[in-house]
Amino acid sequence: MYLFDMRLQGASKALSRKLVACHGRVGEPWLCRGVVVKKKKKKKKKKKKKKKKKKKLGRRAEVKLQRTSAIREPVACRRNCSEAPWKSRTGAFSLKAWRVAELDRAQCKAMVKALRDNKEKKKKKKKKTKKKKKSACRGPVALAQCAHGLPAGALCSQIARAQARPHPRFSTPALSFSLSITKRKDMSDEEPDLELLELLRARFGLNNKNEGPPDTKVLSSAQFIYDNSTDVALDMRSTKAAATLIHAEMQKREYSAATWSQQPLHPQSKDEATLNFIFTMDLLNFSFWSEKSEEERFAIVYQGKRWTGYFSLVALLQRALEQDIPITSPSFWIDEETCTEEVLRTVFSSGTEGGEEIPLFAERVKCLREAGRVLDEEFDGSVATLVEDAQGSAARLVNLLAEKFSCFRDEGTFEKKSVRFLKRAQIFVADVWACFQGEGYGEFDDVDNITMFADYRIPQILQQLSIISYCPPLANAIERFQPIESGHTWEMQIRGCSIWAVELLRREIVKLNPEAKVNAVLIDFFLYDLAKEREKEALEGGGEVMPHHRTRSIWY
């Protein structure tokens, strides 16, 4: 999959492998990008056309031919056209066979014309019969009847029965309605009434299709990005080694969904208020990196401790609730008289003089307003109703968030194909599952379908573990702290390959330990904690912290 760069330049597969051996490893496709190979054109050898030798007839065949040719009747035709000697072997009309039956040329032409006329008449008859069949299916009722394969008169009889008694699929009398088949004045005979068809399908249960399990399409998008990536690569040996290390460390720490609640800032109660807190937290969970130093960056002082990054958001939400500001209430977000910009600036303030303002403050306010409006219009202003509408499916809840809330619709286009990441939508499902430990609001039967949450922290630790590597231009941009625009091909390759790397880690852990209860969510949580631990150790020890890619957006 890494040789296609040179294959496009005209090199053969064998030659491409030699060039990879000379100019770079297979895992680093960008090293082969500058090699240009001209493929030698092979001279095509002109094949001499062999003249077909005429088969010589045997003595018996010659005698038989002489006997048949002596009989001046249509049976004597060697073209197997005893009934019509003027027809060729393939059935096409030909005048070259008239000598066989010793017919006059004018007579032969007349016979050919007569046959052609008969053939055209047969075609016209077939067309007429087809038109008659189509005309039998005109009108909205007949079209619906024909579309669903019902016999003639079956639809009308079923409608008559529906008028007399309620359908067994519907228990309430309000749904047992009667249908009157009428044609609108502005509707032609050929045009179906779409509204009527929908009613008929709903009435007779014709809309129910066997739908498969819901799919977020995040994993398939990640695989597509990895397969077509030219600037980001994964090392399979390092992936296998890291899988053994990660699983051993997770077992040592007894890492599970309950670990989420061990963080002192996370809410401990298992009620609807906690569900609202998690939704607010993940609604605003994006863009915490700073261009300033560790002392000058945005931070929250809460309970006598200084919090930065993601934990600064959790701390400010807890602080606002203690100050009797209902920051986690959806109804508060849409009340612009109470929830003013000044109040929100107080909520998001660092609390220290001269401290940095939280990044993307205006975008966070927009997310709160939009989420409050959508919850009020679609889900009765309740996050619990949103979760219940997913019917216990993690993938369905992720898709519901992406469909209804534009601020959760984390998508893009890579190599002319639409791809999905849905970082914040997935992390909301994961946090609810971990907080409630798979019960109540957190009971999802397909939580294992959730992938890693593509941000900037996990690629950072994956690079430290030598799992992921970048091409020189991308690596230089990251080392120099150059910003990468959201939606850039580099950014998409980093995010997509990171998701696929964690999926490979999960598969390797399950392969080594089939009884291991591990999914991408737990691996992501562990890698994030590991990244923060190593960063803290580096800062305390005076060492350098490996930089991460810098993209300013609301997606992560």
Q: Catalytic residues, which ones?
A: 455
CA distance 230 to 463: 17
CA distance 5 to 11: 9
Q: Which amino acid, 185?
A: K
Q: How far is CA 540 from CA 294, 533, 535, 537, in A?
A: 12, 11, 9, 5
CA distance 426 to 429: 5
Other beta carbons within 10 Å of 505: 24
The token pair at 363 is: 């975008």
Q: How far is CA 329 from CA 270, 343, 426, 539, in A?
A: 17, 14, 21, 37
Partner residues linked to 234 by β-bridges:
468
Of the CA atoms within 13 Å of residue 410, those in its CB half-sphere come to 28
Total residue count of the chain as it appears in this document? 556
SS (H, E, C) 399-456: HHHHHHCHHHCCEEEECCEEEECCHHHHHHHHHHHHHCCCCHHHCCCCHHHCCCCCCC
CA distance 239 to 245: 10
Other beta carbons within 10 Å of 57: 11
The token pair at 467 is: 């799992």
Q: Identify whether the C-beta of residue 330 lies closer than 8 Å to the C-beta of residue 372.
A: yes
